[in-house]
Structure 1
């Protein structure tokens, strides 16, 4: 069953009451969140006509404050984000939230992978897991995706060099039927594309799931369209899906449609692009700051978050799946990202 079924009007009608209820739930269970709402003038009982009118939080707050809606004795797991500056978000989950996270992520991926676990080629190295006590963010990402496949084969050896024999062996065993490929976007291009092109490997039965920034590829004049075109022409790989998500919104993955025309929102979520000066939603085609919306976070107030990413909505109900169709354009400049949370810092 697909999670990409709701048109925009039906989505808004379904999400609005759920998000209002979630806002009040977090107000009553998180004193810190309640203080934020009061400081912003969002009093109990206030009426909201649109999802866009509900109070959002800058995602940066989770790097500096403990925001949770469960007691200390209910904390089952604390997730941490990757951070290049030493700043990491800490997201508190109870058992129900942890279960929901995996269940909804799996349901989203089944939209493009089906219900069977497929043989899996990982564009990475097993050396990521040499120390089982501590994983990097990259290692955690690979480990999480491994749950969707079986008979895992790593494309890179322990020195992060392409292992042609391993890949040929994998394709010899599984290449005649659907198989899963996962890798971070830049590594997929640098290692898998180059290896497959050079050695004329047939990837036509593959389903590639990839994620990560495009900045390194932009420096090589490779955008999403070129990425897809060259994989298709030179390796036969056509089933390609980028995705976008963050630890601060558990279980939510925005998935690229089959035609590569943009990212789409699962039915329990939405995306809003805002003007960084007025914070009003911008029209289709206008870049701005991305706000992500989800009805899943119940153990912490992460249902309405302003990210530190720039994005643009390309269209509404005009793509292969219904709802908003959008792209991520890159990170905000650091100073601008910090400015997004200035209003909230004193209140917190």
Structure 2
């Protein structure tokens, strides 16, 4: 049974103040987030996250009670390095409780595709969704290393291996992948529960013949299905540098069906005839997180400067040293409608200023999920419900 916790009559108050205006300028107007020094990124994060914590303490009864029970007050965030003290909801909380800091009428509900009783339900209002989309802005420097000087409005074609936004029905990974529509004219190839692979191949060949820059985007499991279909039918392309491949979603259902990113990149290079493995990128997100982490040309996932990543020891939740594997947790100030302060169910690691691409800030590596339930995540559950044609 799901418990409902209402935000209360003050929940329609918009976020205001210098910190949130500056956060929006960074998200929507700055095209090179990682050019600023790491110390400057950390200072901005502290301000943005402190302001977000104050907002949710005021407007979210569940979070306020949770914080009070842990002895936390806003005064705990006075010193640099104090963000580790911010109370973080375990992501399984979103499977059990409706947590909102704004009115339900102002939100859309997004869910993971879990087995019965294990779906995460996340309430997002318009500002939260806009900021999420902003984390994927095609004008960003990290994307420009993928498509260069191509004018995507005139010369781009997006091939989306998933349902359109109307058919996504609130499933988060489907919604995330539809945001590729920001890049260029887009067609989605899952309709009525069928992934139409023959149509995909036909349109890829046609777009390349027309001189378009083509971007194929979808969950890893669907990308693997496309590559398998092309191999089985003896189809190979010669895209050269006129194609990009973007994946997003889960890579592993179980040990026997785990997809290997290096192997998928190799298959994509061979089957599509790509000029470089740098043309294949992955994007990390989960339904509870309101920011996407994008891979650079060296296949490191870069965390935008407004998100604090804390890797914790699963035994006592203390922070672990950089590069050490632990339980991933996030402080994301971009969500107005819910407290995006999360203790996730993934093991991974984080490092700072250690990417060969030269971008400053934090990179993450997601290693594996905790064994807590049969919940496989959006992309893998989506694959279980879609047939191929």
1:111-126 residue pairs with structure 2 within 5 A? 111-112=142-143, 116-117=152-153, 118-124=156-162
How far 1:159 moved relative to its partner? Answer: 5.0
How far 1:187 moved relative to its partner? Answer: 1.8
1:146-171 deviation digits (Å, cap 9, x = unpaired): 44331526399985463143432233
1:91 matches 2:131: no
1:107-140 deviation digits (Å, cap 9, x = unpaired): 676741567342012334xxx4698594655644
1:264 is aligned, of 288, 302, 322, to 302
How far 1:186 moved relative to its partner? Answer: 2.0
How far 1:5 moved relative to its partner? Answer: 2.9
- Corresponding residue for residue 335 of structure 2: 297
**Secondary structure, aligned partner of 1:215:** coil
Give the direction of change, closer, same or farther, for the CA distance of 1:94–1:229 in structure 2 (3 Å limit).
closer
1:227 matches 2:257: no
**Whole-angstrom distance in 2 between the partners of 1:141 and 1:77:** 14
Unaligned runs of 5+ in 1: 338-348
**Whole-angstrom distance in 2 between the partners of 1:77 and 1:135:** 8
Aligned positions, number:
327
**Whole-angstrom distance in 1 between the partners of 2:345 and 2:36:** 26
1:162-186 deviation digits (Å, cap 9, x = unpaired): 314343223322xx34221101112
**Secondary structure, aligned partner of 1:78:** strand
CA contact (8 A) 2:322 2:349 kept: yes
1:254 is aligned, of 289, 293, 303, to 293
**Secondary structure, aligned partner of 1:45:** helix
2:369 is aligned, of 310, 331, 339, to 331
CA contact (8 A) 2:327 2:348 kept: yes
How far 1:299 moved relative to its partner? Answer: 2.1
- Corresponding residue for residue 35 of structure 1: 65
Root mean square deviation of aligned Cα: 3.3
Farther-moved stretch of structure 1 (199-208 vs 113-122)? 113-122
**Whole-angstrom distance in 1 between the partners of 2:128 and 2:313:** 32
CA contact (8 A) 1:81 1:89 kept: yes
1:11 matches 2:60: no
CA contact (8 A) 1:254 1:264 kept: yes
1:24-57 deviation digits (Å, cap 9, x = unpaired): 2211111221111110010342244312232222
**Whole-angstrom distance in 1 between the partners of 2:344 and 2:43:** 24
**Secondary structure, aligned partner of 1:334:** coil
- Corresponding residue for residue 207 of structure 1: 244
Q: TM-score, normalised by structure 1?
A: 0.81
**Whole-angstrom distance in 2 between the partners of 1:323 and 1:133:** 33
CA contact (8 A) 2:301 2:363 kept: yes
1:190 is aligned, of 212, 221, 225, to 225
Unaligned runs of 5+ in 2: 1-30, 376-389
**Whole-angstrom distance in 2 between the partners of 1:138 and 1:93:** 14
**Whole-angstrom distance in 2 between the partners of 1:220 and 1:214:** 9
1:305-320 residue pairs with structure 2 within 5 A? 305-313=342-350, 315-319=351-355, 320=357
Give the direction of change, closer, same or farther, for the CA distance of 1:155–1:30 in structure 2 (3 Å limit).
closer
**Whole-angstrom distance in 2 between the partners of 1:76 and 1:153:** 25
1:48-98 deviation digits (Å, cap 9, x = unpaired): 43122322221211221222222455x232333332343223333333333
1:245 matches 2:276: no
1:54 matches 2:86: yes
**Whole-angstrom distance in 1 between the partners of 2:331 and 2:44:** 13
**Whole-angstrom distance in 2 between the partners of 1:307 and 1:108:** 29
**Whole-angstrom distance in 1 between the partners of 2:327 and 2:349:** 8
Q: TM-score, normalised by structure 2?
A: 0.73
